[in-house]
Structure 1
Amino acid sequence: MTAQTVEMLDSIKHKHLCVNSANYNCAQNHINVAAVMVSELSTLVHEYPIFITKNSSTGEFQLSAVLGFSMGENLYLKGDSWQAKYLPLDILRRPFQLVKPEPNSKAQGHLAIDTASPQIQEKLGERLFEASGNPTPYLQRIQKTFSQLMQGVEQTKALLKTADEQGLIEPVTINIELNDEEKTSLKGLYAINQKAVTALKGKALEVCHQSGVLQVCHLLLSSGLHLEKLIKWKNAQISIE
């Protein structure tokens, strides 16, 4: 995605554009982690290994679904399809992005679209605007997705801050051995310290329960099982190669 191809969404300029939302195999989805919001966690933990990472810009904790073991590797992609029933909002919102206003501005963010994305077409896919210029039901869903993302960022940030203050987050390195004896590791990840969760009591336990931290801790701990699925998919790729 380049600045030259990202355009502010316009009902006149982009009235003929469609999005082929069934084609997931495009450059923007060749990523090995996707941002996750607390609000979607209870659904996504059934299909994705989800860990805690740090925002490279702010240093604040955030939730991330692991999609692959190396930069640009997305093992959930199989042909043009996505190998999961549920997709993170961070994937569903593509090829759109939110252009935020300047700091301290009261203006709301505006949707922009990457016109170079292979998902963008003029005949096949979901139209963005009605003949009247109003957003189609598809574009309304995208707008709702961004609304959920914006709300989710602050909610997720606050919850992970509480978890960190209670000493429940620890750095982890995940070492993985593949069938061809190749070894790889996932670094820069953080996880929930199960012993610290079990040891919670008194006021700390009450704070974690009431804030929702306790539920999130249990969900994150259970999601790690999906790493085995990713290893299986990776090994299947290796055997074909």
Structure 2
Amino acid sequence: MAKPVLLNNVQHHDMRIITRRSAQLGDNVMTAATFPAEFRDVQACYPIVFRKTTDGLGFEPVALFGFEEGHNLFLHGERWEAPYIPMMVERQPFMIGVSDDGLMVNVDLDHPRVNHSEGEAVFKPHGGHTEYLERVNSLLFAIHQGMQALPGFLAALLEHELLESFALDVELNDGSQNRLIGFYTINEDRLQALDGAAVARLHQAGYLQPIYLVLASLSNFRLLIDRKNASLA
């Protein structure tokens, strides 16, 4: 259970963050939320798909790392075997808090990366920000900005009925039959059927490029299947 508190240099002056990768540190995840501004980097490595939000009322785009919960096919011991790690993974154990004073940095004190003896120092001995914390601040701000643009993008997809559910049936090298369900992608037929005015509006809003990046990312399913087969060997 997450225990987010406002980060400060008095209570957390000796806090350190373990930055290596491992299942024990929370990296063995199937998905990570993403947003259009990150799609270019994400699509180079992972499929981008959509899933319903936990309240069931909306959708969110995610980078897909595996075919089952709690299994990241890119995680091998303490190595994440991809050149890009999505920002929502990189930010851990930090998150953005919003107060009357604006955006604040919160930290999950129960996260396994948080300790007082190993990893990157968060504050300098006299209380200033370390370079590590400055990088975290930049990362959190980029996430915040990216998430602000997400509702408009999703609204445009729903307005034009461009999201469709899909099922991926996979036969693995061991002969097992597997099906991935519960996710959505872009309906290419409906996209191609849009009239010029609708396409122009999507382009002017900056939504057309991320739509095509989602479609391009689907070629990574082949790589994901290859990784799954390799894990069975």
* Same fold? TM cut 0.5: yes
Q: 1:90 aligns with which of 88, 91, 101?
A: 88
Query: For the residues of structure 2 that align with 1:2 and 1:206, how far apart are their CA atoms?
Result: 43
- Are 1:207 and 2:205 matched, yes or no? no
Query: For the residues of structure 2 that align with 1:159 and 1:39, how far apart are their CA atoms?
Result: 11
Q: 1:31 aligns with which of 29, 35, 43?
A: 29
Query: For the residues of structure 1 that align with 2:141 and 2:28, how far apart are their CA atoms?
Result: 24
CA RMSD of aligned residues (A): 1.9
Query: For the residues of structure 2 that align with 1:99 and 1:127, how far apart are their CA atoms?
Result: 21
Q: Deviations over 1:71-94 (max 9, x none)?
A: 111111111111111111100101
How far off is 1:121 after superposition? 3.7
Q: 2:170 aligns with which of 166, 173, 176?
A: 176
Query: For the residues of structure 2 that align with 1:70 and 1:83, how far apart are their CA atoms?
Result: 18
- Give the corresponding residue for 2:218: 224
Query: For the residues of structure 2 that align with 1:216 and 1:222, how far apart are their CA atoms?
Result: 10
How far off is 1:109 after superposition? 4.7
Secondary structure in 2 aligned to 1:29? coil
Secondary structure in 2 aligned to 1:26? helix
Gaps of 5+ in 2: none
- For the 8 Å contact 2:95–2:105, the answer to whether it is kept is yes
Q: 2:64 aligns with which of 57, 63, 66?
A: 66
- Are 1:128 and 2:122 matched, yes or no? yes
- Are 1:150 and 2:148 matched, yes or no? no
- Give the corresponding residue for 1:54: 52
- For the 8 Å contact 1:23–1:119, the answer to whether it is kept is no
Change (3 A) 1:151 1:69: same
Query: For the residues of structure 2 that align with 1:30 and 1:23, how far apart are their CA atoms?
Result: 9
Q: Name the amino acid aligned to 1:55.
A: T
- Give the corresponding residue for 1:139: 133
Size of the aligned set, in residue pairs, is: 233
More displaced 10-residue stretch of structure 1: 164-173 or 67-76: 164-173
Query: What TM-score do you get using the length of structure 1 for normalisation?
Result: 0.88
Q: Name the amino acid aligned to 1:87.
A: I
- For the 8 Å contact 1:61–1:161, the answer to whether it is kept is no
Query: For the residues of structure 2 that align with 1:159 and 1:123, how far apart are their CA atoms?
Result: 43
Secondary structure in 2 aligned to 1:143? helix
Query: What TM-score do you get using the length of structure 2 for normalisation?
Result: 0.91
Alignment of 1:5-16 (within 5 A): 6-16=4-14
Paired-residue identity, %: 29
Q: Name the amino acid aligned to 1:129.
A: F
- Give the corresponding residue for 1:164: 158
- For the 8 Å contact 2:5–2:109, the answer to whether it is kept is yes
Q: Deviations over 1:171-228 (max 9, x none)?
A: 1122222112222222221111111122222211111111122211211111011111
Change (3 A) 1:202 1:142: same
How far off is 1:61 after superposition? 1.9
- For the 8 Å contact 1:17–1:120, the answer to whether it is kept is yes
How far off is 1:111 after superposition? 2.7
Q: Name the amino acid aligned to 1:130.
A: K
Query: For the residues of structure 2 that align with 1:68 and 1:142, how far apart are their CA atoms?
Result: 26
Q: Name the amino acid aligned to 1:80.
A: E
